[in-house]
Structure 1
Amino acid sequence: MDLALIAALIMFASAFFLLLIGTPISISIGMASFMAMLSILPFNGAMITSAQRIFVGLDSFALLAIPFFILAGNIMNNGGIAIRLINCSKIISGFFPGSLAQTNIVSNMMFGSISGSGVASAAAIGGIMTPIQKKEGYDPAFSAAVNIASAPTGMIIPPSNTLIVYATVAGSVSVSALFMAGYIPGLLWGLGVMLITAVMAKKRGYVLRNRMSLKECINVFIAAIPSLSLIIVVIGGILGGIFTATEASAIAVIYSFVLSLFYRSLKIKMLPEIFLATAKMSAIVIFMLATSSIMSWVMAFTEIPNMIAAQLLAVTDNPIIILLIINVILLIIGTFMDPMPAVLIFTPIFLPICVNLGMHPVQFGILLVFNLSLGTITPPVGPILFTGCKVADISIEEVIKLLLPFFVVIAGVLMLVTYVPAISMTIPTMMGLIK
């Protein structure tokens, strides 16, 4: 048997076994990769190469953005920013059937784009909107389904930690281009959810009882301007060349901290707990990046992506079918694995295949993150699914059947992202971020 194939079998089989017995993902990746490396290198060589790959994998200035954006998101969760974005969302959503549910969707898109976390959006926005909707007679299962279906938009609309991780793993891919490429797909996801919500709400008779007056709309919008300005400062500064994405993450921390103090919603005594939560979450992500760097080396050395590409081409040489197969695989993976480790593992496998088919790495990055974001709202793992159900205090079984129409529409948007490059490439191309 070919040595490369033996190494591949050892790596995937041992990783699967370690995950099956409950070993943390980062440790599973590192140990499986090291065992595979032992099949192609002597022990000393495997030890030295593994250590080198860990340091190489973390030797990136762009990775500093991850803990800063996580910290900014945690500060915003406790800083009174969510309620102001919700009030602002009412201006946009107040004219649609099921206006409170629509407000939840728009708020998730806004808050998610600022915090960069779908789980944070589901918890923060859902925690505020669910009791309000229940008071107005909304079915809690319906409210939870809407909250869950719209929360992942924040993982695609920038800034997004998942896109930063992808840029690091993929190599020479511009974070700014990825950020700009995420806008239209993320907005289409949100609009699709709004459409289904409008149809379902109309059937259920959910209407807005009290419309906001023009004066109220103006006051609410003015009150939300400081919160909305955060995304303008961060993205505008990156595009204007004023600061890098990493520097922008630090600006986001300072801005959100000052704004939260101004709103008097954040107490200084809350900071140690926020810092600790940020350190724990950042450590998990960074350690996964370190261990996945060993796996990337093994894949490159053994040419595993080329073997997988050959197997796909043996099935069909039609690019449309190949991309469909890749989507199906990623959707299945997304139901079992969190987005971060999935990006680390499957970027080196599928990126070369898609590039050979003529797809730009930026478009593939959006396709990959879109697929894995959809996985966050599907069982059995589905962190956003579980968070949304916990916030609404209902069972997953009650929500799943209501989520099915949303899955259909989101999958339709995914097909557009896959087969229509303009969906993700238009904005970065117009801004000169892609040549």
Structure 2
Amino acid sequence: MEPIWVLVSTFSFFLVIGLPIAFCLATSSLLTAIAMGIPPLIVAQRIARGVQSVPLIAIPLFVLAGSIMAKGGIAKRIVDFAYILVGPFKGGLAMVNCVQSMFFGGVSGSAIADISSTGPIMIPMMVEKGYDREFATAITVASSTQGIIIPPSHNMIIFAMAAGGVSIADLFLAGYIPGIMVGLSLMITSYFIAIKRDYPREKRPSFKESIQITKDGLLSLLAAVIIVGGIAFGIFTATEASAIAVLYAAFLGIFIYKEITFKDLFPIVVESVKTICTVLFLIGAASAFGWIITYLQVPALVTNFFLSLTTNRIIIFLLINILLILLGMVMDVAPLIVIVTPVLLPVVQSLGMSSITFAVVLLLNLGIGLTTPPVGTGLFVGCSVGKTTMEKTAKSTMILWPGMILVVLLVTFIPALTTFLPNLFN
């Protein structure tokens, strides 16, 4: 047990003093290896091996595609399209926020990209129409979590690697129904909040304008159809799909919408590279950390621990969900996927939950973590975009959590919600 305590204590210490999460993972892995008498070079090799995977090439390309979509006018057209669909309802702009996140998340695959690109459009628009700034920011942040569930999600790719080669196509298909359920839960909550606070309805654009907006919106959404459809039907791999997403996004932005030029691509690539380097270093460091955990047989210890508490699978699943939400409050999504998957996947599999279902349950819980203090990345970015404070926004976000937690519980205990589409296409 001594090496395990070294791993846990050093990681916790570095996390508390504010060291970046990737360095916490790498340093605690190194110190634990030294404590066990393992050559430190092995930790470096594990970090390198963690990113030496062909499917991981899809992550940088999906990140780049999301950046091009944000700058190329695709985000705005998806917002306009969502406006036509749900704008006329009571609290319509809040629902627009949810629907556009459903669409844009399915195109970019990133919660942060969603907040950064559509937040500057939606939040000022909602405030101007009489919505509270904090609620406008909260619904933007909460709805963006659909981006890590609805495909193409680069976090699904990370899970596939951490779980030992789960089908990326099946993971993508499994995310659709739960992702839409999250959107619907937020829309229903927004509707009742709108009635209570008397938020306005919106007028639908003229028929001629609606036709043009629908045309532009469908062109943008076609990216998701091409990507996921191509993968599901075996036309191309996830890596090839990510490259196609980049080309399609650039084509729309440059030639169709004409909101960017070839000169604009270079700064977009530079900006994306900064994000990509951070993500890949996190994956590499988390891979070394995960290897140490496996070497110390922590998964077996955790499985025995849960089974020693109770053999009731319902209680164990509830405990795991609570644990995941708590972890999501203090750590980011990517490293948690790599760390938690090898530890908890054997536990849930021993109780009959498939790796596909667990992937969605994991991401749903970590998505809630994106909206919570103290480390919720989505909350930080949303407050920056919305020009408000975390304290005020967190209070508004709490109103939205019950619906999101209900979706987590439904997905946890009704496997068909995640397995129906993968089984249909297999």
Q: Which of 256, 266, 275 is the matching residue for 2:269?
A: 275
User: How far apart are residue 48 of structure 1 and its match?
Assistant: 4.2
Cα distance per residue 1:249-277 (max 9 Å; x no partner):
01101110111102121133332321122
User: How far apart are residue 209 of structure 1 and its match?
Assistant: 4.3
User: How far apart are residue 379 of structure 1 and its match?
Assistant: 0.6
1:258 aligns with 2:251: yes
Name the TM-score, length of structure 1 as normaliser. Answer: 0.94
Q: Secondary structure at the match of 2:36?
A: coil
Q: Which of 107, 112, 129 is the matching residue for 1:114?
A: 107
2:19 match? 23
User: How far apart are residue 387 of structure 1 and its match?
Assistant: 1.8
Percent pairwise identity: 38
1:427 aligns with 2:403: no
CA RMSD of aligned residues (A): 1.5
Which piece of structure 1 moves more, 396-405 or 161-170? 396-405
Which piece of structure 1 moves more, 261-270 or 193-202? 261-270
User: How far apart are residue 422 of structure 1 and its match?
Assistant: 0.9
1:411 alignment partner AA: I
Q: Which of 269, 291, 300 is the matching residue for 2:294?
A: 300
Name the TM-score, length of structure 2 as normaliser. Answer: 0.96
2:250 alignment partner AA: F
Q: Distance in 1 between matches of 2:204 and 2:161?
A: 46
User: How far apart are residue 24 of structure 1 and its match?
Assistant: 2.0
Q: Which of 150, 157, 176 is the matching residue for 2:150?
A: 157
2:299 alignment partner AA: P
1:320 match? 314
1:230 match? 223
1:413 aligns with 2:407: yes
- In structure 2, relative to structure 1, the CA distance for the partners of 1:315 and 1:61 (3 Å cut) is same
Q: Secondary structure at the match of 1:210?
A: coil
User: How far apart are residue 68 of structure 1 and its match?
Assistant: 0.3
Which piece of structure 1 moves more, 390-399 or 121-130? 390-399
1:10 match? 6
* Correspondence 1:11-410 to 2 at 5 A: 11-42=7-38, 46-262=39-255, 263-410=257-404
Q: Distance in 2 between matches of 1:290 and 1:133?
A: 40
Q: Secondary structure at the match of 2:353?
A: coil
Q: Distance in 1 between matches of 2:207 and 2:227?
A: 30
User: How far apart are residue 143 of structure 1 and its match?
Assistant: 1.5
Q: Distance in 2 between matches of 1:18 and 1:397?
A: 25
- In structure 2, relative to structure 1, the CA distance for the partners of 1:209 and 1:358 (3 Å cut) is closer
Q: Secondary structure at the match of 2:114?
A: helix
Q: Secondary structure at the match of 1:23?
A: coil
2:179 alignment partner AA: G
Structure 1: unaligned runs, 5 residues or longer: none
User: How far apart are residue 430 of structure 1 and its match?
Assistant: 1.1
- In structure 2, relative to structure 1, the CA distance for the partners of 1:394 and 1:292 (3 Å cut) is closer
1:346 alignment partner AA: V
1:38 alignment partner AA: I
Q: Secondary structure at the match of 1:72?
A: helix
Q: Distance in 2 between matches of 1:51 and 1:130?
A: 44
User: How far apart are residue 35 of structure 1 and its match?
Assistant: 1.9
1:298 alignment partner AA: I
Q: Distance in 2 between matches of 1:234 and 1:408?
A: 32
Q: Distance in 2 between matches of 1:224 and 1:181?
A: 24
2:105 alignment partner AA: G
Cα distance per residue 1:74-129 (max 9 Å; x no partner):
11111011111111111221342111221111111111211111112112212112
